[in-house]
Amino acid sequence: MLAREIHPLMKSNRNYPLLLAGQFLSALGDNAILAVIVGQLTYLQKAGTITATELRTRNTVYTSLLFVPYVLLAPLAGYLNDRYAKTKWLVGGNALKLAGTAVCALSVGYGPTWQGVGYFIVGIGACFYGPAKYGILPEILPRNRLVKANGMVELLTLVAILGGAIAGSVLADTFKDRVLVSYTVVTGIFGAALLLNFLMATTPHKPDIRLSASVAAFGGHLRDLLTAPRLCRVLIGTALFWVCGAAMKINFQPWGLDVLHLPDNTQIALLGLWLSVGVMGGSILAGQLHQVGDLRRTQAYGFALAAMLALLYSVNSLAFWLHPVVQAGPLRLVVPVVLLLVATGVTAGLFLIPLNAALQAESDPEKLGKTIAVQNLGDNLGMLTAGVYVFASVKAGLSSSGVFLGLAIGVTTLVAWLRFAGRKSSA
């Protein structure tokens, strides 16, 4: 009897650190491989092999491929993670990412199409891996440790996203003529993540769960949220944040090359770093300024975000944004632009965090997991929408600066509509 009581605790102690380490490496690989893929476009454009328009088009398509599986396969991924042991899907997700990286490597001899196919496979792996990394926490940890554990997973994921983007850009710059080396490094990252997950003790499975019932429950909860006026607006707001984030991430490469004249992928990747620093600062500030459910200033933060995006548009036409420039070793830092990106991130963090807190606090506690799943679907649909927007902008001949202006107009319009809808609902 004593052995049965101790065993789950031993499993918990073993699985948690393996989960954290595996999650960090897996997220690191997700972002490193994209940076390696799009980083090649920089040198193809400089060599005259592709045009600036082709760079922007391929960048948009490659980046958007990750979001497609999340939109198409979300209900199936949720069912598989509920039905089978989550440790198996941690391994399975990384195995798919490993296979996708191998397919990407085929592009060296067989053309760039294989990069798109391979990265799409990586996206499928990430789709199946995502629910497992959070859903497994209640199975391996006591309830009183769940908040800190979720925070730790989020923190490591954020560090991995930033680190992966920069590391992948460094690989793309260092091995621009030996791309196979970059893919080999990424293969090693995913392989290490897979091994760590494979070493985890197997968690329980639930053979009584059926696909039809799981999908019906997901669809029913989605309908409930969309028909709840306040929560529906909250979901639209969080999706809008991810539309902005994805569109900016896609647009940074052409904007950094054409407007800021940055010399390589590493320095372009730092644009995302400054934005993320601002988001973290805004997130902390939001926690100090607002109680849970307090959304009175959310519209103001949305309009402020739109204003920051409009200022990013002005960088190309107003010369004062481009001086002074600080040369820190190999890094070329355009100081006003760095500060503008940080400020943009702060407004975005202030906009997002109160919405996230309200959604979690006001949803049915017994269905919070399904609520987060619906939110994830909306956020990924938002990021896919961002890809479609940037792709359409390129085809319409809009400049990289113009993408920021169009985004500012879109944010202003949607926030104004949310404000009007909120007042109408209250009346």
Q: Is the pLDDT of residue 121 over 80?
A: yes
Q: Are residues 346 and 423 in the same domain?
A: yes
| pLDDT for position 426 | 60
Q: Is the pLDDT of residue 260 over 90?
A: yes
β-sheet bridge partners, residue 254: none
Average pLDDT score over residue span 10-21 = 79
Looking at residue 252, its amino acid is F
Q: Give pTM, 2 decimals.
A: 0.89
Report the mean per-residue pLDDT for the chain.
89
Tens digits of residue pLDDT in 279-305:
989 988 888 887 877 788 899 999 999
147 neighbors 153 (Cβ within 8 angstroms): no
User: Which domain-ending residue is among 159, 174, 209?
Assistant: 209
Q: Is the pLDDT of residue 421 over 80?
A: no
Tens digits of residue pLDDT in 37-61:
999 999 999 999 999 999 999 999 9
Q: Are residues 349 and 375 in the same domain?
A: yes
β-sheet bridge partners, residue 331: 328
Distance CA 95, CA 149 (A): 25
Burial profile 104-122: b = 16 or more Cβ within 10 angstroms, e = fewer: bbebeeeebebbbebbbbb
The kind and range of the H/E element at 13 are helix 2-46
Contacts of 18 (CB under 8 A, 6+ apart): 196, 197, 199, 200
Reading the block at residue 168, the tokens are 């992948």
| pLDDT for position 4 | 38
Q: Are residues 146 and 253 in the same domain?
A: no
Q: Are residues 192 and 286 in the same domain?
A: no
Q: Are residues 237 and 327 in the same domain?
A: yes
Which residue carries 């996708």 as its tokens? 100
- Say which CATH number the domain at 189 has: 1.20.1250.20
Q: Are residues 321 and 181 in the same domain?
A: no
pLDDT band of residue 397 (cuts 50, 70, 90) is very high
The CA-based dihedral angle spanning residues 159, 198, 10, 136, taken in that order and rounded to the nearest 10 degrees? 60
Which residue carries 């699985």 as its tokens? 15
User: Which domain-ending residue is among 179, 209, 239?
Assistant: 209
Q: Is the pLDDT of residue 422 over 70?
A: no
What's the structural domain count of the chain?
Answer: 2
Task: Determine, yes or no, domain membership for 215.
Answer: no
Tens digits of residue pLDDT in 229-259:
888 999 999 999 999 999 999 999 999 999 9
Q: Are residues 291 and 420 in the same domain?
A: yes
Better-scored residue on pLDDT, 267 or 367: 267
Domain region containing 138: 1-209
Question: Dmax of the chain from CA atoms?
Answer: 75
Percent of the chain with pLDDT over 70: 94
The kind and range of the H/E element at 325 are strand 325-328
| pLDDT for position 427 | 53
Task: Determine, yes or no, domain membership for 217.
Answer: no
Task: Determine, yes or no, domain membership for 233.
Answer: yes
- Give the range among 98-107, 242-251, 325-334 with minimum mean pLDDT: 325-334
Q: Are residues 70 and 129 in the same domain?
A: yes
User: Which domain-ending residue is among 181, 209, 237?
Assistant: 209
* Count of other CB atoms within 10 angstroms of residue 394: 23
Task: Determine, yes or no, domain membership for 220.
Answer: no
Q: Are residues 60 and 91 in the same domain?
A: yes
Contacts of 187 (CB under 8 A, 6+ apart): 98, 101, 102, 105
- Give the range among 143-152, 166-175, 200-209, 280-289 with minimum mean pLDDT: 143-152
Reading the block at residue 395, the tokens are 């085809």
Task: Determine, yes or no, domain membership for 251.
Answer: yes
Q: Are residues 177 and 310 in the same domain?
A: no
pLDDT band of residue 7 (cuts 50, 70, 90) is very low
pLDDT band of residue 362 (cuts 50, 70, 90) is confident
